[in-house]
Amino acid sequence: MPLIAWVLAGAAPIPALAADPAYPSRVVTLVAPQQPGSATDKVARTVAAALEQHWGSPVIVENKAGAGGTIGAGEVARAAPDGYTLLLGGFSHMIVSPAVLPDARYDVTRDFHAFGRVAVVPFVFAVHPSVPATTLPELVALSRAEPGKLNVAALRGGVTSMGLAKFFAATGAKMTEIEYKGAVSPITDLVAGRIQLMFNEIAGLQAQARAGRLRLLAVASPERVTAAPELPTTAEQGYPSVVVKAWYGIFAPAGVPAAVASRLEEAMAAARRSPELQRQLRSLGYEVVTQDDAASFARQVASDTQEARRLLKPPGQP
């Protein structure tokens, strides 16, 4: 189905499922497609608690980790579309992974009903203190003067892939990409000076920056962020196209009955207003999305999907 059709329809047409008139009349499961203790898990548990408070009925978090989040997401895509199995979806496994991983057996614009964002995750460019650059333009000039000398962490299948693709396309910077399978090792290597640049969420880098072990250059957001209001944006430094609005949002399998979808949207709106949810998300370094709806989120997902397919390719493709 073309993306615009998915946006207008909300999901691919499948045989109608009768709505539960008392929804939710039993336990709702919110799948977190990462391991316990991960950021995804923490956000899922925060959202589950807010939904549970609104409904007055239990919402449990089930961790289904593996393959960068695609295993859990795929299981939700194949679940019954009755509203009792939901997904805490992140930008990496809903947008980036399907564009670069042949084994991601779902299409977010076909297999899911998007209900709305709960948080936006700020991503930043950080360098080792030995790098003689305090701004992105200075970093770009340095890379052009000595092509390939600077090493940058590359995390395939994650938000980092999208950020670096946009950065290289906009700046023409010439760097050597060092591939990693997770975010912990490259942070260690950045602090040690074995690599010189990393694009990662601010929560994973801010403590090291405050300790002087690395330097933050810019946040890839349209506006400055609450977690670091002193940090200029990429747009302020002359690169308005280098913006990555990574998000967490709630999804259900495509085909959820309209009555159930309406109740879920109402519950999502109530959850966003929860002071505890807002406090918990801000403590993780995230920007809270206080207003969103299914239609707006569907448009965002469709736009992000198109952009990822244009910028990113599976390994081995030119």
Q: What is the DSSP string of the chain?
A: --HHHHHHHSS---------TTSSSS-EEEEE-S-TTSHHHHHHHHHHHHHHHHHTS-EEEEE---GGGHHHHHHHHTS-SSSSEEEEEEHIIIIIHHHH-TT----HHHHEEEEEEEEEE-EEEEE-TTSS-SSHHHHHHHHHHSTT-SEEEEETTSHHHHHHHHHHHHH----EEEEESSSHHHHHHHHHTSSSEEEEEGGGTHHHHHTTSSEEEEE-SSS-BTTBTTSPBTTTTT-TT----EEEEEEEETT--HHHHHHHHHHHHHHHT-HHHHHHHHHTTPEE--S--HHHHHHHHHHHHHHHHHH---TT--
Across the chain, which has 318 residues, the per-10-residue mean pLDDT values are 46 54 95 95 98 97 94 97 98 92 87 97 98 97 96 89 95 95 92 97 94 98 95 97 96 97 96 96 94 95 95 69
pLDDT value of residue 123: 97
pLDDT value of residue 187: 96
- Predicted TM-score (pTM) of this structure: 0.89
pLDDT value of residue 10: 47
pLDDT value of residue 12: 44
pLDDT value of residue 17: 56
Q: Is the dihedral of CA 12, 99, 39, 230 positive or negative?
A: negative
pLDDT value of residue 101: 82
d(CA 212, CA 10): 47
d(CA 266, CA 160): 33
pLDDT value of residue 100: 86
